[in-house]
A and B are shown apart, each in its own frame.
Chain A
Amino acid sequence: GQQVMQIPQYQHVQEGEDFTTYCNSSTTLSNIQWYKQRPGGHPVFLIQLVKSGEVKKQKRLTFQFGEAKKNSSLHITATQTTDVGTYFCAAPSGGSYIPTFGRGTSLIVHP
């Protein structure tokens, strides 16, 4: 079935550097969600994107949905140690309206 491919798998950054994770699909997505999971924690919903070309911001986090609705990105400006965790995208797969999760990108921030 349809899957969302997420890259990179891991990203090490120095505190203060920017970070971006990408989700790509071979088919058009109806919507895409982003979740964050802290080490030892559970996934927590961050945001949902629905419209083509949509851009949403949450403080230092910027979420984008591609014009073709086949890709999405999460960008963090000036990372902090509190940003450490795994960021997942999730999107409905095939004919289902139930989202399938990507493999996630683990962000490691070095102080």
Chain B
Amino acid sequence: DAGVIQSPRHEVTEMGQEVTLRCKPISGHDYLFWYRQTMMRGLELLIYFNNNVPIDDSGMPEDRFSAKMPNASFSTLKIQPSEPRDSAVYFCAIRQGGETQYFGPGTRLLVL
């Protein structure tokens, strides 16, 4: 693995609460991706950054979702307010110059 740390690994929250997911990639990447995975919709690309700049956020489902990358070592995905249908596994992935993507372990989110 290329070294992508995600936190928290598991999150259980109540509907209406704000949820912040974090990603800490190793240095040397040029792209950072946020994905959502559910049984119904599979692996969906939400947004990606190139050199810390958001390039395409067309996959972000609603205005309740936002993502930031203040520096090369940190990115957040925020959901405010959260809803039960947001329950999913959220992955952060990076690319290091080539075509290959390296995924973090994911955050398993359950919104009650």
Contacts and interface: CB of A to CB of B under 8 A. Distances in A.
Interface of A: 31, 33, 41-45, 48, 88, 90, 96, 98-104
Given A31-B99, A42-B104, A48-B100, A101 B43 contact: yes
B15 interface: no
Interface residues of B, number: 18
A98 B48 contact: yes
B101 A45 contact: yes
A45 to B, nearest CB: 5
Contacts of B48: 98
A45 B42 contact: no
B102 interface: yes
Contacts, number: 40
A99 B102 CA distance: 13
Interface in B26-52: 31, 33, 42-43, 45, 48
Nearest to A1: B58
B45 A100 contact: yes
Contacts of B99: 31, 33, 48, 99
B100 A33 contact: yes
A45 B100 contact: yes
Contact of A44 (B45, B103, B106): B103
Interface in B41-99: 42-43, 45, 48, 56, 91, 93, 99
A16 B45 CA distance: 35
